[in-house]
Structures are given as C-alpha cells and as structure tokens.
Amino acid sequence: MAANRNFTEATTYQWTAKTLRSIRESMIERKVSELLPAILSEEIEAGGLHSVAILADTKRMRRPNANNSETNVNVREDNTYYLPLSHNFEKQQAVEFLTPNYSIVPCVRPLETHEWASGKHLFTFYEVEIEAQTEKQEEVWSLVEKLLSDVSNSLESQAKRGELKDNEVGARNRSSVLKGKFQVITFAEALERVHADKNRTTDLTPQEDALLCSQFEAPFWIHDYPRPVRTTVFHENAFGRYESFDLMLPFGYGELATGGVRPKTGEQILRQSLDVIKEPAHTLTHGHADWKTSRQIQSTGLGIGLERLIRFMSGSTTVLDVIQPHDRGPNRKLLNHTN
C-alpha cells in the first residue's frame, strides 16, 4: 500500500490511546496477566537484524563533531547490550508463573531500503506479545481471535459515539473481524493461491502477500512453514516443518502477527539459532537454552504489530499515520522520505 498519510496529530493520539485501552480491557476480561518487558539484554536473539546499546558509565555519551573526532565512550564487553527485536525469551520465562501473559513492548528493527515506503514497516515500533503455557497453537489462536473481537467492538462503539475520527474503510475492517472463527490455511495452500510452486521454501513476496490477502474478507491464519522461510526458532514437527504461524489481514493489508510453538529442548534452541543467525556459539541465546533444559516448560506465543493493528482498525493506508507526534526517533526519516 502506498504511504498516504491522512491522520492529524490529534487523530494519531486518539486512535492509539483508545486502542491501547481496548487491548488492556480485553486482557483483564480474559484473565491474561500483563508483564513488564525488559529493555536491554546481554544476549542476542535469533532472527533479523539487531541494534546495540552502549551504557557509558556515568558520563553523558558524546558523539563526534567538527571540533572533536572522538567520543568519550569507552566501549567494553560489559557495557554493550542488545536492544530488543522482540521479547520472545522474556515472556517464555515468565509463563512459568504467569500464564497466559502479555506485554506491550518496544522493538527496534533496522529496515531494508525497499521497506522504507512500504507503509507497513517502522524502525521503532510496538508489539503486543502474548504467551501461554501450552503446546497447542489453536489455544493461542482462540485467545487472539477473542482479543481482536473485543478491540473491534470497543473501537466501533467509540466511533459511533463520535469519539474517534472514522471512515467507511475502518468500519468495514472492524466488521471483518467479527465474522466468526478465522480460516486456517497451510503455507503450501497459500503458495497455491498465488499461483506459486507449493513446495517452494522461500517466503511470500510483497506482491504475493498482497494478492493472497486480497482474496479474503476476514483475517486468516497461515501455518505449517518450511524451516528456511523462518528467521527465528520454533518447534520442528515430524515432517521437518515449523509449527509456526502468521495472522494475516484481509483486503490486502497483509501480516499482523507472527508466532509459533516454541522449541522443546535447549539443544534445539541452540542448533536452530546457529542456523538462523550463523554466529559463533558464544553469541547465542544460552540463557534461553539453559532455561528450557532446566525447566522443561512448553509454551506457544506470538507478537501482534500494534501500529499495524491501529492502521487496520482505523482504515488508514499506512503505519506512518501511527507515528506519535512526540516521536523524535528514526521514524522521522520515514516521514521525511515520503513527504
């Protein structure tokens, strides 16, 4: 979708605040406990690109300028940490004591050049992370479908009362969530729907993604992914495919959430992490693997893109509409790029 911003600053704040409130009210009603997310980690998480944060002791970090070519930051191994791409391990660890749990978490994702004008990607964004102590993905699907139904009903009521700036597209989108249980297709079936080889082991292209989602008038699930398609770790079934899934939005909106059943052993976590990020063993998620080995707790979870959810519920065409007016971070580059 083209980036065509049509939100005012007030609209952005209103839709964001009311969507967040609707999510939290639903989670309380469904007895899902909220988890406080960690901000930094000393361990790299498998999947995607990462940013590194440096804590500069007690000094204020100084960047180089025309008069001084050096910083005052002493970069050591004990003061470098990873900013989160998501919060997979934290919520899995917490599920031992809080199940199901959720958190609304900040994420950092360096973008590829072709993603800048997609209308779907941001440098910094938020996810609604959900995890449950179960190995049945259908249980998580059911919880998420109830959550989206609750949010849609709440926002619809507020729009009808004139508390939100609304449009026909948003009303259509919210209505689509309420059509009953979401359809489930396999990744192979998704490929067939876009006239591709069903045995292919590469992900849908942006064009195929849009074509697939234009065929549906309600959200739907894709599951049963070949290992090469995924860039993180999940349980591998007897057929060599991941028990992983995506929640897709209709009318061409595309992916809203990604998740899956977690690996069942620490050894699987380490092996799959090495396959994904291709880094020496000492950089991998040993804390995660050690926890899995000692606790033997099985869970399933996913992350819902908050800005993508707001975009869909409001009828917007781009996540750029959802960039908070007070956000002075790298997302400003996306706004300047499209203006």
**5-9, 261-265, 289-293: range with lowest mean pLDDT:** 5-9
pLDDT at residue number 3? 39
Residue 277 pLDDT = 72
Task: List pLDDT tens digits, range 156-171.
Answer: 999 999 999 999 999 9
Look at 83-87, 238-242, 261-265 and tell me which has the smallest mean pLDDT. 83-87
Domain residue ranges of the chain, discontinuous segments joined by +: 9-55+74-338
Name the residue with higher pLDDT: 222 or 269: 222
Q: Pick the residue with more confidence: 193 or 111?
A: 193
Q: Are 260 and 283 in contact (CB under 8 A)?
A: no
Q: What is the mean pLDDT of residues 285-303?
A: 91
User: What is the structure's pLDDT at 339?
Assistant: 58
Taking residues 287-311, report their average pLDDT.
95
pLDDT per residue over 314-325, tens digit each?
Answer: 999 999 999 999
Three-state DSSP class for residue 204: coil
The tokens describing 4, both together, are: 């065509």
Task: Classify domain 9-55+74-338 by CATH number.
Answer: 3.30.930.10
Q: Which has more pLDDT, 66 or 254?
A: 254
Give the C-alpha distances (Å, rounded to integers) separating 318 from 18, 206, 245, 270: 18, 15, 23, 37
pLDDT of amino acid 56? 77
Report the chain's mean pLDDT, rounded to a whole number: 90
Q: What is the pLDDT of residue 1?
A: 36
Is the CB of residue 152 less than 8 Å from the CB of residue 19? no
Residue 223 has pLDDT above 90, yes or no: yes
Whether 62 and 72 have beta carbons less than 8 Å apart is answered as yes
Q: Which has more pLDDT, 52 or 297?
A: 297
The rounded percent of the chain whose pLDDT value lies above 90 is 65
pLDDT, residue 87, reads: 86
Determine which helix (DSSP H) or strand (DSSP E) holds 319, and give its type and residue range: none
Give per-residue pLDDT as tens, 132-153. 999 999 999 999 999 999 999 9
More confident residue, 337 or 41: 41
